[in-house]
Amino acid sequence: MTNDPYQSPMIEQFRYARRDKPTIRFFSGPDFGLTALGVFKDSLDIVEQEFHCTPTVMFPTGGTPQAFYRELTADSHFKWRCTLNVVQLDEYVDPETELVISKTDPRSYADELARTVYEPLRIAPRLRTTFRDNVDPKEACVSMNIALAKNCRRIDTGLYGIGPNGHLGFVEPSYKWMTEGAFVSKLAKETREANAQYCEEHGGMPTHAVTQSLGLLTKRIVRHPMVLAKENKADILLRSLRGKPTPRVPASILQDVPNVSMIVTAELLEILKTELPIKQEAYNRMEHTRHFAYIH
Ligand code: PGA
């Protein structure tokens, strides 16, 4: 189904406000993909109004954002086709060569995003800031940090999924916060189990990845983090939003990050309503974007 989501009065908006913490907003509607598309487009409109420039965005892979990607690529009203700047969130390390996986490998996230998003939107390779492939992972991280510093002083809208163990990108549970630039991450057992289905017939599940650190969030390089979650993430989302933030649940960092929007399914919203003191607000296509308080 492809509609202009701005015509839909059905998106509901809720706020989760706590003393001394930034407010987190939840958005939900009858169609998960269209709800995400509506909030995403509003977010880019604000960038255009505030900065008069082409937005830079970061897209995740995984099952959860696929409905959003289908709506985005089918949306004839989307005005940033061909011009959007994109940044890669993470990429596998090839378990055989121990180099960053080739962009032609079917397991590659760069390849997956190129096929499902960049090519349908006709985003030219020069507009894509990706991890270098076929190089030592540490070298790829250094190159990524240099490229980000040079090309993208900010990532306007950064989309994230949440892993079954609370990982964000491939920042896995740890005893310390990982906030200093892109780094090589050892994948947790739960992550490897959850993603094995996509990799097994193509040469095996990687044990390591290169990923952007949480510094993108804590240093406000990502100005508007948009988290997409379905009801299968209810438990880990609640663990992430309650109690004190801990690197043992990386997504709990979101409690301390301003301007977080969470796009949730109707089923997940029902669970959140019973478990968290969230309050409904009026949804207005531009109103909620006032909360994306940009600081220069
Ligand atoms: P999923 O993955 O969307 O396939 O559940 C999310 C993640 O692991 O970050």
pLDDT of residue 1: 42
Asked whether 63 lines ligand 1 (CB < 6 A), one says: yes
Assess whether pLDDT exceeds 70 at residue 9: no
Assess whether pLDDT exceeds 50 at residue 201: yes
Q: Mind spelling out the 3-state secondary structure of the chain?
A: CCCCHHHCCCCEEEEEEECCEEEEEEEECCCHHHHHHHHHHHHHHHHHHHHCCCCEEEECCCCCCHHHHHHHHHCCCCCCCCCCEEEECEEEECCCCCCECCCCCCCCHHHHHHHHHHCCCCCCHHHEECCCCCCCHHHHHHHHHHHHHHHCCCEEEEEECECCCCCECCECCCCCCCCCCCEEEECCHHHHHHHHHHHHHHCCCCCEEEECCCHHHHCCCEEEEEEEECHHHHHHHHHHHCCCCECCEHHHHHHHCCCEEEEECHHHHHHHHHHCCCEEECCCCCHHHHHCCCCC
pLDDT of residue 205: 95
Asked whether 161 lines ligand 1 (CB < 6 A), one says: yes
pLDDT digits (tens, 9 = 90+) for 147-166: 999 987 899 999 999 999 99
Which of the four pLDDT bands, split at 50, 70 and 90, describes residue 50? confident
Asked whether 169 lines ligand 1 (CB < 6 A), one says: no
Report how far ligand 1's centroid is from the alpha carbon of 159 (Å).
Answer: 12
Task: Please tell me the least confidently modeled range out of 3-7, 55-59, 63-67, 90-94.
Answer: 3-7
Report how far ligand 1's centroid is from the alpha carbon of 84 (Å).
Answer: 24
pLDDT of residue 48: 87
Which of the four pLDDT bands, split at 50, 70 and 90, describes residue 49? confident
Report how far ligand 1's centroid is from the alpha carbon of 18 (Å).
Answer: 27
Sheet with 208-211, side-by-side order of all strands: 90-92, 208-211, 183-186
Sheet with 85-88, side-by-side order of all strands: 128-129, 85-88, 56-59, 155-160, 222-229, 260-264, 21-28, 12-18, 279-281
With a CB cutoff of 8 Å and minimum separation 6, the contacts of 230 are 32, 64, 264, 265, 267, 268
Mean pLDDT of 25-42: 95
pLDDT digits (tens, 9 = 90+) for 172-192: 999 999 999 999 999 999 999
Query: CB 201: neighbour CB atoms within 10 A?
Result: 9
Task: Please tell me the least confidently modeled range out of 49-53, 172-176, 223-227, 234-238.
Answer: 49-53
Residue with tokens 């086709």: 81
- Report residue 133: phi and psi, to 5°: -100, 165
pLDDT digits (tens, 9 = 90+) for 272-289: 999 999 999 987 665 555
* Choice from 59, 61, 64 to test ligand 1 binding pocket (greatest atom count within 8 A of CB): 64
Report how far ligand 1's centroid is from the alpha carbon of 3 (Å).
Answer: 26
Closest ligand 1 atom to residue 62 Cα is 4
Mean pLDDT of 51-67: 94
With a CB cutoff of 8 Å and minimum separation 6, the contacts of 270 are none
Assess whether pLDDT exceeds 80 at residue 46: yes
Asked whether 165 lines ligand 1 (CB < 6 A), one says: no
**Residue closest by Cα to atom 7 of ligand 1:** 163
pLDDT digits (tens, 9 = 90+) for 83-99: 999 999 999 999 999 99
Report how far ligand 1's centroid is from the alpha carbon of 49 (Å).
Answer: 32
**Residue closest by Cα to atom 2 of ligand 1:** 62
Mean pLDDT of 216-232: 96
Distances (CA, A) of 204 to 61, 94, 160, 186, 198: 18, 9, 24, 15, 9
Which of the four pLDDT bands, split at 50, 70 and 90, describes residue 124? very high
* Choice from 162, 185, 226, 236 to test ligand 1 binding pocket (greatest atom count within 8 A of CB): 162
Assess whether pLDDT exceeds 70 at residue 227: yes
pLDDT of residue 2: 43
Assess whether pLDDT exceeds 80 at residue 133: yes
Q: Which of 134, 138, 89 is nearest to 112 (CA)?
A: 89
pTM over 0.85: yes
Asked whether 163 lines ligand 1 (CB < 6 A), one says: yes
pLDDT of residue 291: 52
Domains of the chain from N-terminus onward:
25-288 (3.40.50.1360)
Report how far ligand 1's centroid is from the alpha carbon of 144 (Å).
Answer: 22
Report how far ligand 1's centroid is from the alpha carbon of 296 (Å).
Answer: 32
Q: Which of 201, 209, 187 is nearest to 106 (CA)?
A: 201
Asked whether 129 lines ligand 1 (CB < 6 A), one says: no
Assess whether pLDDT exceeds 80 at residue 5: no
Which of the four pLDDT bands, split at 50, 70 and 90, describes residue 200? confident
Compute the mean pLDDT over every residue in the chain, rounded to the nearest whole number: 92
Contact 47, 28 (CB under 8 A): no
